[in-house]
Amino acid sequence: MKSMLLSFSLLLFFFNVKGQSLYFPPISGDNWEETSFTELGWCADQLPTLYNYLEQSNTKAFIVLKNGKIVIEKYYDTFTKDSLWYWASAGKTITSFLIGKAQEEGLLSIEDTTATYLGNGWTSLTNAQEEKITIRHQLTMTTGLDDSGINFDCIQANCLTYLADAGTRWAYHNGPYSLLRTVLENASGNNINLFMTPRLKTPTGMDGFYLNYGTSSVYFSKPRSMARYGLLMLNNGNWDGNQLMNDVNYLNDMITPSQTLNQSYGYLWWLNGQSSFMMPSLQAVFSGSFMPNAPADVYAGMGKNGQILNISPSENLIVVRMGNAPGSSYVPNYYNDSIWQMLNPIMCSTSGTTAPSKLDLQIYPNPTEGQIHINGLDRQSAFTLYGLNGQLVWKKFLTGNSTTVQIPDHINRGIYFIQIKTEEAVFSQKLILN
């Protein structure tokens, strides 16, 4: 009997369900349901440390959603939930979504050359060099255009000079990215704000607008609008039953490594939990995750001065931060990671005070028809399959010598996250089920 109780306790530990059905706030009005620390089992005594850190780093707004409901919402100085602030480069993620919508509607293809929509001579390259640059290269920061010096933000042809063939070099470069707005507007015949309103803002209740700032196009909104966009992405492009993007492949590509040069970059989204990463202004490749204290499945929009949108499907968690963080980095990954260091003790019932160790496993094939093989697993564990919205789909207890897992036929084909968890460590990876 004692052995049976122990086994049952272990199963309860392994099969702790994180994903729950998502709550969506009303399209209009200020009503947004909240959930308490008590309900979640979080540690409220750790909150003052986070609040102090946010205040000391010039934060204006900070929001945490769990299962779509507000857990933390904090504003500083005279800033309120109705104040407008800029997204900086975190807004690149909206542009990525809008390009996907334009492709879904047949207005463009990301495989088209950029010159199709900007005309020949939009760069200083030869025609042969320029014709190699596609919209996909703009989305993935692989145009090969020179990103050095004062040319970083410039969109004039004399600033856009050749450094490498498109697709052969990754570099964070605002100039080619900013021209995606012109590509979208020329392809659709609409101003970007007019294009966005019926496709994204109205269905989700987002507010805000793109504003030209120098040569850049910057998005401004209230903090809760960033949270709304995060909730849409967490639910795989679906807002409370309304599928705003039907192209599942494009949605997956947005938050999947888009090239082999920088594993931690999708379509203008930063991807945690990869084997290596690159950062702006550097050609060095660093080993490991760019946010080791955050869940491995986090994908993020990050902008200068600490504009942050974090999404963790396995935790059903969204983190929004707006403000004026010190430092000049275009991508505040270190600051973002420091916020997760503060959040982990707060989420004491799920995340603990430190990031869990990572299992060193190999999963193949991926994509799969249903059966996958696991290399490197030598202990009892729980295998859990989550949907992109963080909901639990299927689970199985694995013995130490398990090497294969057969996913049941009744599970719909699509994109999932798998988690393999032991008492000491965890492994997470995206899985495509064909």
Q: Are residues 340 and 402 in the same domain?
A: no
- Strands 425-433 vs 357-358: parallel, antiparallel or unpaired: parallel
- HEC string for 273-292: CCCEECCCCCCCCEECCCCC
Number of domains in the chain: 2
Last residue of a domain, one of 290, 321, 346: 346
Taking residues 212-230, report their average pLDDT: 93
Taking residues 169-190, report their average pLDDT: 97
The CATH number of the domain holding residue 245 is 3.40.710.10
The CATH number of the domain holding residue 365 is 2.60.40.3080
- HEC string for 289-319: CCCCCCCCCCEEEEECCCEEEEEECCCCEEE
Answer whether residue 135 is part of any domain. yes
Last residue of a domain, one of 346, 375, 400: 346
Q: Are residues 246 and 368 in the same domain?
A: no
Q: Are residues 339 and 371 in the same domain?
A: no
Q: Are residues 285 and 251 in the same domain?
A: yes
Residue 166 near residue 133, CB atoms below 8 Å: yes
Of 86-90, 189-193, 195-199, 287-291, give the lowest mean pLDDT range. Answer: 287-291
pTM for the model stands at 0.78
Domain range for 403 is 357-433
Taking residues 70-98, report their average pLDDT: 97
Taking residues 182-196, report their average pLDDT: 98
Residue showing tokens 């507000």: 70
pLDDT for 294 beyond 80: yes
Q: Are residues 271 and 236 in the same domain?
A: yes
Highest mean pLDDT among 225-239, 367-381, 401-415: 225-239
Answer whether residue 205 is part of any domain. yes
Of 224-238, 240-254, 363-377, give the lowest mean pLDDT range. Answer: 363-377
